[in-house]
Structure 1
Amino acid sequence: MTSATQPTDHGPSRRTKILLGTLAALIIVGLAGGFYVNYRVNRFVDTTFRPDDTAPQTQFGETPTVPIVAQATVPPTPIPPTPDPRDPNTPAPPAATATSTVALAPTATALPYGNSPIIRRLKENQRINVLLIGFGGPGHDGGYLTDTLQVMSFEPKTGVVILISVPRDLWIQLPQYEGRGGYWGRINEAYTVGMGKVDRNDTNIPYSKHDAGGKLAMKAVSQVLGIPMDYWLSVDFVGFRRFIDAIGGVDVNVERAFTDTQYPNNDDADVDPSYRTIHFDAGWQHMNGERAIAFARSRYSPEDGSDFGRARRQQLLMSAVKDQIVSVETIPKLFGILDALEGHIRMSFSFSEAKDLLGWGQEQARAKRQFAISSGVIDGDRLLYGAISSGGASILLPRAGQGNYGQIQSWVRDLLGLNESPDLLGTPGTPRLPGVPGVRPTATR
């Protein structure tokens, strides 16, 4: 009796081999993709954020010393004194813009967050002031002269956010840093003075250079506004354009129609020194990145070409960006936003702080907390006037006198709801703690 014939083992079938090969390929691609994502994130973190092992440093202003005479183009027009219980010589502060209320859009799942320095401050209901900085960037003549200086002041207890625009032509004594600065110049020079010498075409300037620029800019703005600056964030024109496009554009309610016949065709006049005409109608308009930056930068329209008009437009644009971010789900667009901003944005937040802020914001969103946002521009009629420096530059000076920022600081404190002390002016240019007139804190966190 013969035994049954056993089937011959020919190994895995062709289908099995294909499946195994496909699975192996997917694993390799997945690992490679994971490594690439990790590489991209790490590269973005290293070039964008303050190192996690360093503490944030709040910056305070310095008192101006000997002023350089600046000749006014026209004598400042007298302002009738307005009765004020704090200082009878201080003009009544211009009103802030209408306050809007927003609520953040929560993600599908909660985002965990830790106890980084920014979170500890939020939990302790400490006011946080962030300096927002915009400039041309690499490839531009004067690429790090700031085109935009805005302070975002957030009061955690009340949920109130106030934006304050600082005119770029304001004439100040630039703070000193590593032997640089210490002279009188426009406030928009502070960032580039802090950075020191850099190659105008270098697209890989170390974070440390930007950090030095941000710190000096914070000191300069604190000197004028009389409030400490806790963090800074800077972005160049390319990054701003790409960011607006990455979030799908913004809707802006243009307050007044204007036409600018001298808008540059190229950010770098060495490439193309010619101009073109741009026009904006009044009313709601959807803007992509290119259109948005033209709206923010336009300087020569007869209808709205002043430094103050431009500051107001920049605040409208910031409000529109805020509305777009909170109205759409930004997490799926994260890598598009990273692509847009990589190499174009820097900040003094650490990566842990930025991540924790996102988680904290989502916690507020899930609690359906609303935030009130308003803005103010330093009034060019009541607080500043146009002048010519000894070197022939068009500048802005405080009506109270060169280097005397007392009226501006009182206006800022009114805007922020901080004017509770009867003696607020103290030493010109010197930030004060509430209730301690003329005292400049020296400690940093």
Structure 2
Amino acid sequence: MVKKLFVETLGCAMNSRDSEHMIAQLREKDGYETTSDFKEADLILINTCSVREKPVSKLFSELGIFNKKKKADAKIGVCGCTASHLGEEIIKRAPYVNFVLGARNVSKISEVLHKDKAVEIDINYDESEFAFDDFRTSPYKAFINISMGCDKSCTYCIVPKTRGDEISIPMNLIIDESRRAVNNGAKEIFLLGQNVNNYGRRFSGGHEKSNFTKLLQELSEIQNLQRIRFTSPHPFHMDDEFIEEFASNPKICKSMHMPLQSGSTKVLKDMKRGYSKEWFLNRVKKLRSECPEVSISTDIIVAFPGESDEDFEDTLDVMNQVRFNQIFSFKYSARPQTEAEHFTNTVDADIASARLTKLQNIHTDILDEINATSLGKTYRVYFQDLIQDYFVSGRSDDNIVIKVKGSDELLGEFRDVKITSIGRTILTGEIVA
């Protein structure tokens, strides 16, 4: 009998890649095959996120459902960032959980599987040179880790406490993994790291000094690789060399995620982000002067402790100047083990909600204006997903999601698409070539 594995992934693309790594190890070492129905699974894994409060609350809700409806002898494992910071507390609150595996201990999945109540959460464990077996949920796009951990000290962020110090994966391993992915059909790779453009700051062994720009150049030499994406670069490390490589390299997709967090220099200082409002706007200006067609997305936290009305207006000012193509916006929520958890100058909850609503409404207006200019334009689209009602979706070079009527014959293919209908999150078109 084949053993069945169900994996639920919460959070970011790095979590998605960690889930792929765990699936690969369990397939190779323990003979598991994946299933989309947890009720038939012999092993249930929840790969968790702890960046915000909501995913943590969702974890215990999901655990309760899984425990009630799972097979009698099925095991449950909790993995990822929440596993790292709660550790044994998870088993105390949910004693039916069989093991807990931290975000920096992914390679130990087969080991903890066979140790009931095992808790492996060492954030200093070094997996940077571990050779994971190959597994990808999509043959068309490959997520590839280029670093792990984070050396920043942002006062609101729990990630350094769950993923440990930043360490770069050796370039030769990244290139070899990318080549294998391309040889298996992927035409696009997606590089992952907490601060990708800080790549090369630290390796675990005696590796040749390098940086992110050099890595991008080397990856661009891979035959049949057509697109390179990455997330997230840190605004502080967006030097001219990096921006110029981004603009001039035809394989790099012209979509940049620039996490702003706040438009107020005062709040940015309180957050320990390492840059000012002026620096952020300067980097946007440089980016758009070198690459006018670039789309820019961002992250914004409203109502950080001490944020005044004037500070919030600074954020709106940046919004109006940059006109982001996409934003991920949230009200501040205190996270455990962070410096800001102890800040006492909190913003009233009603004010925080009003600010978030205002920010999102302004962005909606900006997005409607941007999208309106897309009607009738033609984009080169790489198709990767089947969606409902006989549509196939993909992304343009500048990261616009576009769908057309079609079948699985389009998957993994590039086509020119003329936009015929506008939506807020997805555009509709027809293939012209």
Structures share a fold, TM > 0.5? no
Q: TM-score by structure 2 length? A: 0.23
Q: Which structure dedicates a bigger proportion of its chain to helix?
A: 2
Structure with the larger RCO, 1 or 2 (CA within 8 Å, 6+ apart): 1
Q: TM-score, normalised by structure 1?
A: 0.23
